[in-house]
Chain A
Amino acid sequence: MIPSPYCTIGPFFPGEFVAGCQDLTSFQGKQARGQHIVLTGRVVEEGNRPILNAIVEIWQPDAQGVFRHPLDPHFMDADPGFFGWGRARTDAAGRYSFQTVMPGSSNGYGNHPPRSPHVNLMLLAIGLTRRLVTTVFFAETPESVRDPVLDCVPDPAGRSRMLARRESDRNGAGGVPVYRFDIVTRGDSETPFFID
């Protein structure tokens, strides 16, 4: 059977479905382990125009690099205070923001290669009939990351656009570091997106 067709999220995704989902730093009353961070940025379209009312979802491992999913061989050791999924909506400036933890690197096993610290990100908005998917990495330079997904991006400028940058001049609530990841869906400094 062929998969059902995707369709755009449209303009009216309920605010109730977003409320509370930007904060990944606790789960079932427990605080997430590891370095808490803010992951934030702007989503813009052609001409650097902000995209208002886009929905951003993320999926990431915990601070030890473990996914809260039964396919992860270390699933039983996953941080009980970290669910790993979040959702945010962009404002009039195209800005989204998550409170999360710095993901750990994950060891390879079987056919699965090791991964550098990263966050999977998907974007839904009016005008997009399907989601756009990319990956956020945390490093000063692309050369310092050894990762099989980042390595697929042929253009060095594109690879550097997949790095979240530490904002040196500000911290989030509680003094946590802020990492900035801007998303250009179309334009001169376009974010690389993957075949989905």
Chain B
Amino acid sequence: MKPNPADTSEVEYAPYREDTQLARYIKNYPRSFTRNPSQPLIQRPLTLSELTGPVALDQRLGISAQDIAHVSPASPRAIGQYIEVTGSVTDEDGAPLAGSMIEIWQANSAGKYIHEMDRHEAPIDPNFTGLGRFVTDAEGRYKFRSIKPGAYPVTESDWWWRPPHIHFSIFGPSWMNRFITQIFFPGEPLNETDLLLNAVQNPEARDRLIFETTPTVVGAVNFLTFRRDFVLRGKKRTPQLD
């Protein structure tokens, strides 16, 4: 990597558009009302500090195998529907973001996470950790195999079950496009009532929290395939005439 100072002023990071993001305050999601700031957020200039960010994270964090449905190549496959997830990470201009670290975490097929905060009585699968780390290739693409996560009840709610979803944490090239989200599966009845998925006003943006199904390939090993492309904030600045 060579220094390229010219690039900093060529990329624009506009604030997120409210209608394309989840609402900050969500009815029946009490912590959104006790944790979001009461004071208006403050506009600041973007300097080198905000326009840079951690890159080449594979030098700092370990990468996992591409198939997280197997704890090791020799171990039995995790219980559940075998899936393959693919997609790309680009900026708002559609330019691929190569070398982006992606972290994923998910429940097992019974809706159980290996986490001290998870008090759901569902069983742990000894052959599944539910976490993975991957890096996008030169075209900004990623691919991994896993099992489809199960739904699970929200501990403090008497009605809310989370639909199956996979958590994604993505590091773009800048502190401004550090990105965290959850991606849902198409056609799940619980999708219709999920407080988080339905907190996005814009229907096109809401759809981008849901995997697309893609045709399966018939072969010795079969799996359902899902695709989700991510668009991280950042686009080429339009030249100003002044």
Contacts and interface: CB of A to CB of B under 8 A. Distances in A.
A11 B115 contact: yes
B47 A149 contact: yes
A1 B90 contact: yes
A186 B26 contact: no
Interface string A121-154: 0101111111110010000000000001100111
A61 B49 contact: yes
Interface stretch (B4-12, B69-77, B139-147, B216-224): B4-12
- Number of contact residues on A: which range applies? 35 or more
A112 B48 contact: yes
B94 to A, nearest CB: 6
A85 B41 contact: no
Given A7-B209, A71-B7, A12 B105 contact: yes
Describe B's contact surface by its main secondary structure.
Answer: loop
A1 B94 contact: yes
A85 B58 CA distance: 12
Contacts of B130: 14
A4 B45 contact: no
Contact of A196 (B9, B16, B54): B16
B81 interface: no
B230 A4 contact: yes
Interface string B213-242: 000000000000000001111000000000
A173 interface: no
A5 B52 contact: no
Given A4-B230, A129-B22, A153 B42 contact: yes
Describe A's contact surface by its main secondary structure.
Answer: loop
A148 B45 contact: yes
A84 B54 contact: yes
Given A5-B21, A5-B22, A12-B117, A195 B44 contact: yes
Contacts of B231: 1-4
Contacts of A27: 59-60
Nearest to A47: B34
A167 interface: no
A3 B12 CA distance: 13
Contacts of B92: 1-3
Interface in A81-98: 83-85
B34 to A, nearest CB: 4
15 contacts: A3-B177, A4-B209, A5-B20, A5-B181, A5-B206, A11-B115, A67-B52, A69-B52, A122-B175, A127-B36, A128-B35, A129-B196, A158-B39, A186-B35, A195-B15
